[in-house]
Structure 1
Amino acid sequence: THPPPGRRHRAGTEDLPLYRRLVRTEGRFRPDQIDALNRLSRQVMADRQAKGERITPNTLVRLAVDLLLAHADDLRGDTEDQLRASLIPDPTPLDTL
């Protein structure tokens, strides 16, 4: 498959699998976030109709980054909690996911 419009990739990499076209980076997450991402990715995989592309916690993190960047103008605050509240006024507790 080809990257969605607007996504850039290096010349000559179109034939590589998606995971080979992505840049590896590291992030630090809370244990509850990891647990929720794992549960959610398993649920999405189980619920999907088309059984092609694998949905992993990394897939969901990339979607979250895309969503954050799409709402970058809404970010307000000086701390992680304030920034979160500016985007998600009433966040769903992770243990309900």
Structure 2
Amino acid sequence: MSHHRDCPVDYDEPTADALRRWRRTEAKLRSIPAYVVFTDATLLALAEARPSDERALRNVNGIGAAKVERYGEAVLRICADPGLVDEEGTLAGTDAV
């Protein structure tokens, strides 16, 4: 996903990039399409809101109880520090299966 270089963005680009890399890896590990983890629109909403707790996470469009249960801890860590996701999409401090 990209934007026109002269148009401002409303989301934090490093966070969006880290979430995309993580989503790709998460989807691969679960053998599901990436959009099943989160849609592109939800990733951008996360990168814009950068929730810091579960309550804020649940307020992001596209995230319900199941997504919070399954991915909440990882997403909150990424929103707090996008640098935790390496170029392969692995979140530091997690065990890749």
TM, length-normalised to structure 2 = 0.33
**Higher CA-based Rg:** 1
Q: Which has the higher contact order (CA 8 A, sep 6+)?
A: 2
- Which one has a larger percent helix, Structure 1 or Structure 2? 2
